[in-house]
Amino acid sequence: MHIQILTVGKLKERYLVDGIAEYVKRLGPYAKMQMIEVPDEKAPENMSPAEEQQVKVKEGERLLAKLGADVYVVALAIDGEMWTSEQLASSLDKLATYGRSQVAFVIGGSLGLSSELLRRADMRLSFGRMTLPHQLMRLVLVEQIYRAMRINRGEPYHK
């Protein structure tokens, strides 16, 4: 399986970079993992709704440009489906079984994902109704992908 994680902005926090690198290393025997970052737009605190929309559109265009036509796209969105780790594992297993071995998880910037990108997504996944920093979401996501791979192979992993 080839898994991409597409994100907006550069990850700078050392503890997050180290944590993600550890899980990507652990994922080596299970899947090819690729992290792709696209530049974020400046987003001052007091933007109008139109300016916020413009930021999301620009970031969305950058993300969409990185997605191949045959890639199964999972958009991380607060209004998406909430799954258990077992459901994520099952979904990834089914995708691989039915020839959809190219999967991209997309994490938007601080304002979220553009409507164009959400339309391109094959599904929306939520990790809960709470807002999480998009930088932290990268670490949470890669850990859950690793957990899913272990579940699919029947290997032990802490609960």
Please, what sign has the CA dihedral across residues 129, 131, 136, 142?
Answer: positive
pLDDT of 158 strictly over 70? no
Q: Across-strand partners of 126?
A: 82
> According to the model, what pLDDT value does residue 156 have?
87
153 labeled binding residue: no
Give residues with Cβ within 8 angstroms of 82, minimum separation 6. 126, 127, 128
Which range marks the domain in which residue 145 is found? 2-42+55-153
Q: 153 in helix, strand or coil?
A: coil
76 labeled binding residue: yes
The enclosing domain of 132 has a CATH number of 3.40.1280.10
Decide: 144 and 150 in contact? Cβ < 8 Å: no
47 labeled binding residue: no
92 labeled binding residue: no
105 labeled binding residue: no
Q: Would you say residue 115 lies in a domain? A: yes
State mean pLDDT over 62-91.
Answer: 96
Q: Would you say residue 96 lies in a domain? A: yes
Q: Would you say residue 73 lies in a domain? A: yes
132 labeled binding residue: yes
Q: Would you say residue 48 lies in a domain? A: no
Per-residue b or e along 21-48, where b marks 16 or more CB atoms closer than 10 Å to that residue's CB:
eebbebbeebbebeeebbebbeeeeeee
Please, what sign has the CA dihedral across residues 34, 125, 108, 128?
Answer: negative
128 labeled binding residue: yes
Q: Would you say residue 50 lies in a domain? A: no
CA atoms within 13 A on the CB side of 150: 15
Q: Would you say residue 126 lies in a domain? A: yes
Q: Would you say residue 49 lies in a domain? A: no
11 labeled binding residue: no
Q: Would you say residue 106 lies in a domain? A: yes
Report the number of distinct structural domains present in the chain.
1
Per-residue model confidence as pLDDT tens digits over 101-128: 899 999 999 899 999 999 999 999 999 9
